[in-house]
Amino acid sequence: MNDYFALKQHEHRVNHSVRVSQERRLAQEIKGETKSPLLRTNMLSMGIILSSVLVMVIYFSVV
């Protein structure tokens, strides 16, 4: 039970750090400090890959 709480706490910390870095990146992008087209294409390809993996997982779990 203690391990479970430690895991949840770690998960929360990781999620928080990810959210903070995303917010920082967004703020930089609004200021125009990042190479936003490159970042956008990376995000787009990442989303396509993740969605295709999700579709495959669902397909194989149904079949």
Q: Assign 38 a pLDDT band (cuts: 50, 70, 90).
A: low
Over residues 10-23, mean pLDDT: 74
Q: Which of 10-14, 22-26, 32-36 has the lowest mean pLDDT?
A: 32-36
Q: Domain-by-domain residue ranges, the chain?
A: 2-62
Rounded CA separation 15/12 (Å): 5
DSSP conformational letter for 33: -
